[in-house]
Amino acid sequence: MSGYELIYASLLLGVFVLCAGGYGVLYTLAQLQNAASWLYGARTFYGLQWLTTAAIVATTPLAAGWKLLIVVSCLVTLRVPQVIWKYLELIHK
Amino acid sequence: MYRSQQLALKYFIAAIALFGIMIVFGLLASAQYVHMGFLFQVLDFSITKTLHIDTMILWLLMGFMGCIYWFLPQELERDVEGIKLAEIMFYILCTAIATVAAVFIFVQYGGSNEFSMWFINQGRKYVEAPRWAAIGIVLVVLVFSYNIVATAIKAKKITGIMGVLMIDLVPLFALYLIAFPRITNMSVDLFWWWWLVHLWVEGTWEVLIGCIMALALMQLLGTARRIVETWLYIEVALVLGTGILGLGHHYFWIGTPEYWLAIGGLFSALEPLPLLGMVVHAVYDAGTHHMKTTNKPALYWMMAEAFGNFLGAGVFGFMMTLPQINLFSHGTQWTVSHGHFAFWGAYACGVLSVVYVALQKARGLEEMNGIRWKWSFGLLNFGMIGMVGALLISGIAQAFYERAIGGSTIQAFIDAQSNLWFLQGMNARLVFGVLFAIGYAVLVYDLLTIGGKHRTKQAAVLRPA
């Protein structure tokens, strides 16, 4: 891995998690306030996370196993805020 | 107020004082990066760095103990069993810390022999305290464990939180014993040493702060016990499920078998998931209560805990945890950046939140608010974000110039140390460190004075005519 590839790959990995965080926060706000605008924001972040995933898979020299892990993580992230939200509602009832 | 809670306040005072000492030595160490000869052969970098790191561990540990001594009598509805012993241990711990610090500052070095190991420095990073002090720490943790278990037995009450806390005491005590063996093979020594460093921090401490936050949430937002306990079980399962084998990311380059690359990378990559769950939960709790509470500083510090943990451990950790990246980033300022942010988010913010919870009750205040806590909150967090950003730039410069281009030779190390990106990062870190220190000063002033007017009014009302 060259120096530039190192910086590029690590920054993409950071953005990947940041997008997951943005998606989680905005999804929760959308549910709390029942507001479509937050939901659009959440979807945008999740979309950005997929774009980041695509960039990681297509353009970084990470090994195939790690790329697969990133793709699976991105898929799992979709359900994390939803499952947690449902569970939080359940235990608060 | 229970006697145990009075002891908790003493622990908080000691913790906040150590927090300040940590900042002073952090500033000295960062100044030594900028001016290489600063305090050379008077107070060397090796000593300022050791004191910075050790006081960081100790202030958090004392903060945790303060939190538990604060909440324990409330949880079990009786004062703590063996409180006299706990009070004695507090003074022994403070004396031991002061003595060790004095030896580090005034003696600094000793030969590589039995005497220096027992009385000057054990020579192992993070657990430098000489052996007599390490034995003292074991005794303090034993008494702390006795206080908790004996109180629960006497009260004939073991709640879900207490159950988790008591189970956590076993590794909290047992893992510290790894500070003692003398292993001459460096790989074997590091293998076990990481059990202490990583599993304390990403295992027992995570569980401990989970229990503390559960207790704080019940008091701060009136969240039902059933809810916090259920959530605590899930969080503990997720954090331990990913964190225990996440230990593998420390085993990449210390001479352990190659399979640790896969194990460490995989479980470290999963670690952000529970942190994302914590963020969702924090937003849910704050949102359902519309950020309304009688203790604003405590709530904001609690929120900062969830977000700081996610950013510091999750985002900054994930950037450098996969083995192909870590090959270049480990041991650079990049790691330091991640370490600062993760410790701040995961633990420091949580302890500060409980300090405000305790102060509200100790001072009999109906509401905790004001302007000063906002300044300290802003300056401390802004200072921290600035520091970790600056360290990240320096660390990336090191990974780029020293490792990726220079091939990790000694000359490449020296070249990277004089690289402009690296130097500017270190300069910026010092500037943001000063901002952080100002934030600390405001925090101390706020903690000393918050609710002062209310108390004066109360005293005037109570004063006989």
In angstroms, the CA A47 to CA B81 distance is 55
Which of B435, B311, B421 minimizes the C-alpha distance to B378? B435
pLDDT of residue B180: 86
In angstroms, the CA B233 to CA B91 distance is 34
Q: Which helix (H) or strand (E) holds B455?
A: helix B452-462
pLDDT of residue B12: 97
Residue B368 pairs with which residues in a beta bridge? B295
Please give the backbone phi and psi of residue B417, each rounded to the nearest 5 degrees, phi first: -65, -25
Confidence tier at B377 by pLDDT (50, 70, 90)? very high
| Mean pLDDT on B13-28 | 97
pLDDT of residue B416: 94
Structural domain total, chain B? 1
CB nearest to A14's CB, from B224, B319, B399? B319
CB nearest to A10's CB, from B276, B284, B325? B325
| Mean pLDDT on A15-27 | 94
Which of B333, B324, B331, B336 minimizes the C-alpha distance to B254? B331
Confidence tier at B465 by pLDDT (50, 70, 90)? very low
Contact B30, B433 (CB under 8 A): yes
pLDDT of residue B149: 95
By the CB < 8 Å criterion, does B456 face chain A? no
In angstroms, the CA B213 to CA B215 distance is 5
In angstroms, the CA B113 to CA B115 distance is 6
Is the pLDDT at B107 greater than 50? The verdict is yes
Beta-carbon separation of A91 and B231 below 8 A: yes
Is the pLDDT at B291 greater than 80? The verdict is no
Cα diameter, chain A = 54
Q: What is the pLDDT of residues B122-143, one digit of tens each?
A: 888 888 889 999 999 999 999 9
Residue B286 placed within a domain: no
Beta-carbon separation of B329 and A10 below 8 A: yes
Q: Enumerate the residues of chain A whose CB falls inside 8 A of the CB of residue B284.
A: 28, 32, 85, 88
Is the pLDDT at B307 greater than 80? The verdict is yes
Q: How many CA atoms lie within 13 A of A80 on its CB side?
A: 28
pLDDT of residue B455: 61
Residue B420 placed within a domain: no
pLDDT of residue B289: 73
CB nearest to B284's CB, from A3, A28, A66? A28
ipTM over 0.90: yes
Return the residue in B238, B280, B292, B396 with the most chain A beta carbons within 10 A, the one to mutate for interface testing. B280
Confidence tier at B456 by pLDDT (50, 70, 90)? low
Contacts of B94 (CB under 8 A, 6+ apart): B14
Residue B295 pairs with which residues in a beta bridge? B368
In angstroms, the CA B144 to CA B342 distance is 26
Instruction: Name the closest residue on chain A to residue B285, using Cα atoms.
Output: A88
Range of the domain at B56: 1-155
Confidence tier at B110 by pLDDT (50, 70, 90)? confident
Q: What is the pLDDT of residues B45-97, one digit of tens each?
A: 999 999 999 999 999 999 999 999 999 999 999 999 999 999 999 999 999 99
Q: Enumerate the residues of chain A whose CB falls inside 8 A of the CB of residue B262.
A: 65
Q: How many CA atoms lie within 13 A of B3 on its CB side?
A: 11
Which of B276, B123, B265, B128 minimizes the C-alpha distance to A21? B276
CB nearest to B320's CB, from A10, A66, A84? A10
Residue B67 placed within a domain: yes
Place of tokens 């085993």: B251
Confidence tier at B155 by pLDDT (50, 70, 90)? very high
pLDDT of residue B8: 97
Which of A92, A54, A59, A17 minimizes the C-alpha distance to B231? A92
The average confidence (pLDDT) of chain B is 90
CB nearest to A7's CB, from B288, B327, B400? B400
- Give the closest-approach CA distance of A67 to chain B in angstroms: 11
Is the pLDDT at A30 greater than 90? The verdict is yes
Please give the backbone phi and psi of residue B178, each rounded to the nearest 5 degrees, phi first: -65, -15
Q: What is the pLDDT of residues A59-80, one digit of tens each?
A: 999 999 999 999 999 999 999 8
In angstroms, the CA B216 to CA B298 distance is 9
Residue A63, by phi and psi: left (phi above 0), alpha (psi -120 to 50) or beta?
beta
Beta-carbon separation of B269 and A17 below 8 A: no
Using a pLDDT cut of 90, give the percent of chain B over it.
66
Instruction: Name the closest residue on chain A to residue B404, using Cα atoms.
Output: A3
Q: What is the pLDDT of residues B381-431, one digit of tens each?
A: 999 999 999 999 999 999 999 999 999 999 999 999 999 999 999 999 999
Beta-carbon separation of A6 and B400 below 8 A: yes
CB nearest to A17's CB, from B283, B284, B318? B318
Query: E-assigned strands of B135-260?
Result: none
| Mean pLDDT on B291-306 | 89
Q: Enumerate the residues of chain A whose CB falls inside 8 A of the CB of residue B328.
A: 1, 6
The average confidence (pLDDT) of chain A is 92
Residues of A near B (Cβ–Cβ under 8 Å) read: 1-3, 6-7, 9-11, 13-14, 16-18, 20-21, 24-25, 27-29, 32-33, 61-63, 65-66, 69, 73, 76-77, 80-81, 84-85, 87-88, 91-92
Contact B351, B63 (CB under 8 A): yes
Residue B326 placed within a domain: no
Residue B34 placed within a domain: yes
